[in-house]
Amino acid sequence: MTIPFFQVDAFTSKPFGGNPAAVCLLDNWPADELLGSIAAENNLSETAFLVPSRTREADYELRWFTPEIEVDLCGHATLASGHVALRHLRPDAEAVSFSTRSGVLRVHREATGSLRMDLPADPREAGHEPAIAAILGNEPLALLGGSTWIAVLPSASEVESLDPDIGQVAALQVPYLNVTGPGDPDSGVDFVSRFFAPGAGIDEDPVTGSAHCALTPYWAGRLGRSRLRARQVSARGGEVDCELVGERVLLRGTCAEVIEGHLTLSPL
């Protein structure tokens, strides 16, 4: 079996920044075990798999795997998949659509050269988890619950300098921690964040598109604006342009394609 393969750095304009995702092009779905093995072999935070859609609902079916699990939504690998589809598969199209576990997601070209994703908003309510204060070394300004804990800190510098014990994060009932704070006034950034996901086998994710589906509603409400500029301040770092539109979040970003080739698998 030979599988066309791309590695794309998402939410960055330069190679070796942003968040790398593998994008694999398939004719049909093999066993889930094989998809998981390919993702584990790639050992990136996400591997995306595309199959031509069997219905008119979307252009492709899209699934995402970490090295350990399949996930319900991945923003950066959707952006990378949109990049591959619009550059290599549908170069004359203005948009591409994907049928996923999170509904139909669309990626559009923008005149600026960016790509725009249309994702479901994920507003959160206040939660309570005493262990997070110990992990952070202080009580957060706010703590929002859900599929991921969101802890709000007073400043960007506190988010950047945070060095949490990943074992403690993994021990949380929900082993995912998204830490955010306001951007520095002169940075041109409205808010910053970092994302720790040992529950998915990822100590720290470089740039997490899906996290901004929850961060955007929070910061839009706090700052009183629907269009926001965000930076994920991981070691690789990445820029995300966010916009809240009703119950949807539009995320804009660029991609840098760094590898194109094939996976060659001998008979299993």
Asked if residues 81 and 88 have their Cβ atoms less than 8 Å apart, the reply is no
Asked if the model's pLDDT at residue 63 lies above 80, the reply is yes
**Residue 267's pLDDT band (cuts 50, 70, 90):** low
CA dist 20 and 181 (Å) reads: 24
Q: Give the residue numbers marked as catalytic.
A: 46
Using an 8 Å Cβ cutoff, are 132 and 165 in contact? no
The terminus-to-terminus CA distance of the chain in angstroms comes to 10
Q: What is the pLDDT of residues 183-208, one digit of tens each?
A: 998 899 999 999 999 999 999 999 99
Question: pLDDT tens, 20-52?
Answer: 999 999 999 999 999 999 999 999 999 999 999
Q: Which of 135, 152, 119, 132 is nearest to 247 (CA)?
A: 119
Q: Is the pLDDT confidence value at 72 over 80? A: yes
Q: Is the per-residue pLDDT at 178 higher than 80?
A: yes
Rounded CA separation 164/162 (Å): 6
Say how many C-beta atoms besides its own lie within 10 A of residue 178's C-beta: 25
Beta strands in the chain, from DSSP E residues, in sequence order: 2-10, 19-25, 46-52, 60-65, 70-71, 95-100, 103-109, 115-120, 142-144, 149-152, 177-182, 191-197, 202-205, 227-232, 238-245, 248-253, 255-264
Residue 92, Cα to own-chain centre: how many angstroms?
Answer: 26
> How far apart, in whole angstroms, are the C-alpha atoms of residue 228 and residue 244?
9
Q: What is the pLDDT of residue 1?
A: 86
* Both tokens assigned to 23: 């994008």
- Please compute the mean of the pLDDT values over residues 11-19 and round it to a whole number: 95
Nearest partner of 200 among 12, 51, 74, judged by Cα: 74
Banded pLDDT at 139 (limits 50, 70, 90): very high
**Pairing of β 202-205 and β 19-25:** unpaired
Say how far apart CA 95 and CA 97 lie, in whole Å.
7
Question: Could you read off the pLDDT of 90-133 as tens digits, one per residue?
Answer: 999 999 999 999 999 999 999 999 999 999 999 999 999 999 99
137 torsion bin: left (phi>0), alpha (psi -120 to 50), beta (else)? left
pLDDT of 268 over the 60 cut: no
Q: How confident is the model at residue 266 (pLDDT cuts 50, 70, 90)?
A: confident
- Burial group, residue 92, by CB count within 10 angstroms (0-12, 13-18, 19+): exposed
